[in-house]
């Protein structure tokens, strides 16, 4: 299982905080100040808001809650409270200017590193196993992903670069695998930095099902488009159909048809849509409609987690599809090392015991499930992380994407968003029920 040694965890917390800050700097130092304060989309905050919000959350949790310090600048708390000001309204607030925001975040960080050194990773719920430090590293990485979405939405020439994933051998495995029916352990009570909504571990009985071995590709999604998928009401839920009609949707976000081929805009460049890559920037409604067109359905959240964690040989739930070891570049496309998903079927070293690939990394995967608490859920350390979202108009996404750092990605990690959203790095895979005949009977006697 995960290491719970305080010394190891403290080293990890330090590394995770430094990695996050390097990424924050890379995402905010590559554009002029005017681009940091501009609103690139009403769906997003100005980048300078994310920057100071990262510092403000770190101040609130590591300096005030853990170390008992007084507020450095109490007057700015409300500016960076995500619930007080919707994103569209944030550019008109008296935000810290780029230089001030950088200086504030850096000053908080300097103090937080002293607190990290002085804090035993045992004792209170907040400091046990360094939870608050892990939470804050994850929080910064989540906003780094948010800022990467803003970069994808902004117009103008490319400012971010990264090498493409290395081409691997073409995938020749089966299109789907059978996940046998039976109980498995969902969620975690032992992962030290798992967030409140991933807890506690509990048993779930999951009927047998088939799940796609890889995420759905652009080529497959294009067949849905070419077959008139966006013109036929029968594939869509009423809400999905309303969205298609109102916005005249024809294809995933950032796609455009030109000279008889589909092109897509990606971080300031335009390229032909790559046939073998997982489809990206689709809403839940589009994923759901595609699955119905294909005679299939989206997996439930518990099916997804069983496919990703259940080891049929031992009956145990793994931390990741490949086992309990942390992600590496050989196992998963995470951490913005690339600015795109790898072709479907990549990362054989990241496959699950049943051979399902790319469950972790590449693209977030929509599930059919709404965002709900697990039995025994307790909000921690603040209700606004998860609790206030349960039961709302949200669908769960699983597995992380190329845009997610490993610290904020696990077999148990839960993300959620509105079913209309498509600026996020979202794709999907499909599933179908398996009849009892398709699951071998347990050996009796
Ligand atoms: C879990 C990604 C939905 O970005 O709204 C960041 C994460 N929560 N700050 C979000 C989060 C508070 C959250 N998501
Ligand atoms: Fe936040």
What does DSSP say about strands 209-212 and 431-433: parallel, antiparallel, or unpaired? antiparallel
- The reply to whether 87 sits in an annotated binding site is yes
pLDDT band for position 443 (50/70/90)?
low
- Asked if the model's pLDDT at residue 165 lies above 50, the reply is yes
pLDDT at site 444? 55
Give me the DSSP letters along 6-65: HHHHHHHHHHHHHHHHHHHHHHHHSS-HHHHHS-S-TTS--HHHHHHHHHHHHIIIIIII
The answer to whether 401 is annotated as binding is: no
- CB-based contact 350:318 (threshold 8 Å): no
* pLDDT for the residue 211: 98
pLDDT in tens, 375-421: 999 999 999 999 999 999 999 999 999 999 999 999 999 999 999 99
Distant-in-sequence, close-in-space partners of 394: CB < 8 Å, separation ≥ 6: 370, 371, 416, 417, 418, 419
- In ligand 1, the atom with minimum distance to the C-alpha of 385 is 8
Residue 217: strand pairing partners: 278
Confidence of residue 314 (pLDDT cuts 50, 70, 90): very high
pLDDT, position 168: 85
Structure tokens at 22: 């390097």
HSE at residue 285, side-chain half, CA atoms within 13 A, is 26
| Least reliable range by pLDDT among 108-112, 420-424, 431-435 | 431-435
ipTM value of the model? 0.99
pLDDT of residue 435: 79
How many angstroms does the Cα of residue 275 sit away from the middle of ligand 1? 31
How large is the average pLDDT for residues 165-182? 94
Q: Give the 3-state secondary structure percentages of the chain, helix then strand then coil, rounded to 5.
A: 40, 15, 50
CA 343 to chain centre: 18
Report residue 1's pLDDT band, with 50, 70 and 90 as the boundaries. Answer: low
Please, which residues have CB within 8 angstroms of residue 198's CB and are 6 or more apart in sequence?
Answer: 187, 188, 191, 374, 410, 412, 413, 414
Length of the chain equals: 445
- In this prediction the pTM is 0.97
CA–centroid distance, 142 to ligand 1, in Å, is 6
Measuring CA to CA, which residue among 189, 208, 187, 206 is closest to residue 198? 187
State in Å: Cα 432 to ligand 1 middle: 30
d(CA 70, CA 59): 10
Q: What is the CA radius of gyration of the chain?
A: 22
Residue bearing tokens 């030109």: 258
Give DSSP secondary structure letters for 285-297.
HHHHHHHHHTT-B
pLDDT of 358 over the 50 cut: yes
Number of helices (H) and strands (E) in the chain: give both, helices first: 9, 12
d(CA 285, CA 298): 11
**pLDDT given for residue 137 in this prediction:** 99
Determine the pLDDT at residue 441: 59
Alpha carbon of residue 400 to chain centroid: 4
Gap between the Cα atoms of 220 and 278, Å rounded: 9
**CA end-to-end span of the chain, whole Å?**
34
User: How far is ligand 2, taken at its centre, from the CA of residue 377, in Å?
Assistant: 21
Ligand 1 closest atom vs CA 389: 3
Write out the DSSP string of 242-262: HHHHHHT--SSTTEEEETTEE
Using CA positions, which residue lies closest to atom 8 of ligand 1?
385
Answer yes or no: is 143 a known binding residue. Answer: yes
Residue 152 CA to residue 144 CA, distance in Å, equals 12
Indicate the top mutation candidate among 83, 142, 364 to test ligand 1's pocket, ranked by most ligand atoms within 8 A of CB.
142
For the cut 80, the answer to whether the pLDDT of residue 442 exceeds it is no
Residues 212-230 have a mean pLDDT of 98
Q: Distance (Å, rounded) from C-alpha 413 to C-alpha 19?
A: 19
pLDDT in tens, 55-93: 999 999 999 999 999 999 999 999 999 999 999 899 999
Residue 284 contacts residue 395 (beta carbons within 8 Å):
yes
Tens of pLDDT along 263-292?
999 999 999 999 999 999 999 999 999 999
Which residues surround ligand 1 with Cβ inside 6 Å? 139, 142, 146, 385, 415-416
Which amino acid residue places its CA nearest to atom 10 of ligand 1?
142
Structural contact between residues 143 and 54, judged by C-beta atoms closer than 8 angstroms: yes
Whose alpha carbon is nearest atom 14 of ligand 1? 415
> Are 50 and 166 spatial neighbours (Cβ–Cβ below 8 Å)?
no
Residue 437's pLDDT band (cuts 50, 70, 90): low
pLDDT digits (tens, 9 = 90+) for 13-66: 999 999 999 999 999 999 999 999 999 999 999 999 999 999 999 999 999 999
Q: How far, in Å, are 63, 119, 143, 190, 252 from residue 424 at the CA level? A: 31, 36, 12, 29, 11
| Nearest-angstrom CA–CA distance, 268 and 265 | 7
Residue 416 CA: which ligand 1 atom is closest? Answer: 3
User: What's the pLDDT tens digit per position in 101-140?
Assistant: 999 999 999 999 999 999 999 989 999 999 999 999 999 9
- Specify the pLDDT at position 135: 98
Spatial separation of the C-alpha atoms in residues 260 and 154, rounded to whole Å: 26
In this prediction, residue 445 carries a pLDDT of: 43
Strand runs labelled E in 40-197: 176-179, 182-186
Cα–Cα distance between 1 and 128 in angstroms, integer? 17
């Amino acid at each position: 299982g995960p290491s719970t040694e305080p010394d190891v965890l403290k080293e990890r917390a330090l590394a995770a905080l430094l990695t996050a800050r390097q990424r924050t700097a890379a995402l905010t130092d590559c554009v002029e100040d005017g681009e940091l304060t501009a609103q690139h989309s009403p769906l997003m905050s100005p980048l300078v808001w994310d920057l100071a919000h990262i510092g403000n959350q770190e101040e609130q949790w590591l300096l005030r809650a853990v170390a008992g310090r007084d507020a450095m600048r109490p007057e700015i708390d409300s500016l960076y409270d995500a619930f007080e000001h919707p994103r569209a309204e944030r550019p008109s607030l008296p935000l810290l200017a780029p230089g001030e925001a950088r200086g504030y975040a850096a000053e908080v960080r300097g103090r937080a590193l002293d607190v990290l050194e002085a804090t035993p990773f045992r004792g209170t719920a907040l400091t046990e196993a360094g939870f608050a430090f892990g939470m804050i590293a994850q929080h910064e990485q989540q906003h780094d992903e948010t800022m990467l979405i803003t970069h994808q939405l902004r117009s103008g020439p490319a400012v971010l670069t990264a090498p493409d994933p290395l081409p691997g051998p073409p995938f020749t495995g089966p299109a789907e695998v059978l996940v046998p029916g039976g109980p498995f352990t969902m969620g975690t009570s032992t992962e030290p930095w798992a967030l409140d909504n991933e807890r506690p571990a509990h048993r779930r009985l999951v009927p047998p099902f088939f799940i796609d071995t890889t995420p759905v590709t652009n080529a497959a999604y294009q067949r849905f488009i070419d077959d008139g998928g966006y013109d036929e009401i029968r594939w869509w839920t009423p809400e999905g159909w309303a969205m298609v009609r109102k916005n005249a949707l024809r294809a995933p976000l950032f796609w455009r048809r030109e000279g008889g081929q589909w092109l897509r805009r990606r971080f300031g460049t335009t390229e032909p849509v790559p046939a073998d890559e997982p489809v990206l920037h689709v809403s839940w409604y589009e994923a759901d409609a595609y699955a119905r067109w294909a005679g299939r359905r989206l997996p439930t959240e518990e099916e997804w987690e069983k496919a990703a964690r259940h080891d049929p040989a031992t009956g145990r739930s793994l931390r990741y599809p490949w086992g309990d070891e942390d992600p590496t570049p050989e196992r998963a496309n995470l951490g913005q090392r690339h600015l795109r998903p790898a072709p479907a079927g990549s990362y054989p070293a990241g496959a699950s015991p049943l051979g399902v690939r790319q469950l972790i990394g590449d693209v977030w995967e929509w599930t059919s499930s709404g965002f709900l608490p697990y039995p025994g859920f307790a909000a921690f350390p603040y209700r606004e992380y998860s609790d206030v979202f349960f039961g709302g108009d949200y669908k769960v996404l699983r597995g992380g994407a190329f845009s997610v750092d490993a610290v904020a990605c696990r077999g148990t990690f839960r993300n959620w968003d509105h079913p209309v959203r498509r600026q996020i790095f979202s794709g999907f895979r499909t599933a179908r029920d398996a009849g009892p005949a398709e699951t071998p009977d347990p050996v009796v006697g």
